[in-house]
Chains A and B, each alone.
Chain A
Amino acid sequence: MNTQDRFGLGWRDDLAAGILSNLHRIDALEVIADDYFDAPSKKVRAIRDLAQQHPVMLHAVSLGLASTIAPDRKRLAQMAKLIDKVNPESWSEHLAFVRAGGIEIGHMASPPRNATSIDATLANIAAATKTTGVAPAMENVASVIDPPGSNISEAAWLSSVATTSPGGLLLDLHNIHTNSVNFGYDPYALLSTIPLHRVKTIHIAGGKWIGKRILDDHLHPVPDPVYAMLAFVAVRATQPLTVILERDGAYPPIADLLAELDRARLAVNQGREAATHEYARV
């Protein structure tokens, strides 16, 4: 067991009371950065105060760094300002594009997977790093549509970005589960390919079936395959991991979310134990 592994929750205002009264069971919190770009200073100070007392990471959703279009300077500046004010442990963004040609998609769209998009994404990550002074961890995204214009696999594309990107990979296991179902690949083959040593943080969440596909809506409990993948990663990644449970609505009692965190803790510990036994046999 790696005693430095941590298990936390995505901060949501609707969960605030439950989170604050159970901080002793929540090792870290992840705050949606964009919610604070134009927030009253009182709200930003509240997050800053929280970050002084408990590990807080900022998670951005609207920079659109996986794009051939350069990120919006104003948004990058807002991110830099927020990092400066809150002083989080780290920050992250998604490997997605969210706007193009003046059109706001409204959510994270999977980029076409090809050499051009890898180069453009790395350039945008470098620009974000330069503006904020801190390299973001980059998160793999889920999709119901296989992005057109792709000529390399998700595993190869992710590996290329994760290997080079200075902030490494934020590994979302429900997104891997979702894409493996939607596009018919073996999630364990992907997990065996990507550079797991570049992962510091893991997201877990739940979604729902829409016909023959899964939608990563963060409104449902974490499904069994995600816990199994979590244990698989814990066997192979020797570095300390921070696991964050994401829930974006249809909130259950906080006890249910804490129970999901306990199950994540169990899965990671089982993976660590298995790794220890494997090592002892060598």
Chain B
Amino acid sequence: MSTPEFESFLARLYTDPEARARFLNNRIAEAQSANLTPDQIASLEHLDADALEAAAHSFTRKRQHKLQHAKRRWFPFRLK
């Protein structure tokens, strides 16, 4: 049931608020537009929307944290 296309679809749901909104508005149509298999589409039908938002929020926070961390990480060494 796992394919690169399915993982890409999940990655988009986890990171793109607009894609997430389109999906939550019409799950089947959004999944079909990504050429997912019937099994994959069925698994998305009852996905917990609240959990999806919580996961997306958590991933966003992590990305922001990494960005801040990366900016300061090697700064003292670059001064030399």
User: What residues of chain B lie closer than 8 Å to A144, measured between beta carbons?
Assistant: 51, 54-55, 58
Whole-angstrom distance from the CB of A125 to the nearest CB of chain B? 15
Q: Are B10 and A109 in contact (CB under 8 A)?
A: yes
* Majority-rule SS of B interface residues: helix
A-B contact pairs, 15 of them (CB 8 A): A35-B73, A69-B4, A101-B7, A109-B59, A111-B2, A111-B7, A112-B6, A114-B1, A117-B1, A144-B55, A144-B58, A145-B51, A145-B55, A148-B47, A215-B54
- The minimal Cβ–Cβ distance linking A137 to chain B, given in whole angstroms, is 22
Q: What residues on A are CB-neighbors of B62 within 8 Å?
A: 106-107
Cα distance, A112 to B39, chains bound together (Å) = 12
Interface size class of A (residues with CB under 8 A): 35 or more
Interface segment out of the listed A36-44, A236-244, A254-262? A36-44
Known: A100-B8, A148-B47. A106 touches B60 (CB 8 A): yes
Verify if A131 is at the interface (C-beta below 8 Å from B): no
Interface residues of A (CB under 8 A from B): 35, 39-40, 42-43, 67-69, 97, 99-107, 109, 111-112, 114, 116-117, 120, 143-151, 182, 210-211, 213, 215
On chain B, which size bracket covers the interface? 35 or more
Contact status B66-A68, CB under 8 Å: no
A100 touches B7 (CB 8 A): yes
- Inter-chain CA distance A68–B10, complex, in Å, is 13
A104-B63, A109-B11 known; A149-B2 Cβ under 8 A:
yes
Do B77 and A151 have beta carbons less than 8 Å apart? no
* Interface set, chain B 39-80, CB cutoff 8 A to A: 39-40, 43-44, 47-48, 50-52, 54-55, 58-60, 62-63, 66, 73-74, 77
Q: Taking A35-B73, A40-B74, A145-B55 as contacts, is the C-beta distance between A109 and B2 under 8 angstroms?
A: no
Q: Measured between alpha carbons, how far is A35 from B62 in the docked complex, in Å? A: 15
A100→B59 contact, CB < 8 A = no
In the bound assembly, the distance between CA atoms of A213 and B54 in angstroms comes to 9
CA distance A146 to B46 in the complex (A): 11
From A35, A68, A101, A149, contact of B12 by CB (8 A): A101
Report whether A145 and B48 are in contact in the complex, using a CB–CB cutoff of 8 Å: yes
Shortest beta-carbon distance from A117 to chain B in Å: 4
- Using CB atoms, name the residue of chain B closest to A64: B7
CB of A42 to closest CB in B, whole Å: 7
Contact, CB under 8 Å: A103 / B40: no
Q: Which residue in B1, B48, B55 is a CB contact (below 8 Å) of A112?
A: B1
The answer to whether A40 and B77 touch across the interface, beta carbons within 8 angstroms, is yes
Contact B58 A215 (CB under 8 A): yes
Given contacts A144-B51, A145-B48, contact A105 B59 (CB under 8 A): yes
A116 contact from B2, B14, B43, Cβ within 8 A: B2
CB atoms of B1 and A101 under 8 A apart: no
- What 10 pairs between A and B have smallest CB-CB spacing? A101-B8, A106-B63, A100-B7, A107-B62, A103-B11, A145-B51, A117-B2, A100-B11, A145-B55, A100-B8
Given contacts A43-B74, A145-B55, contact A106 B66 (CB under 8 A): yes
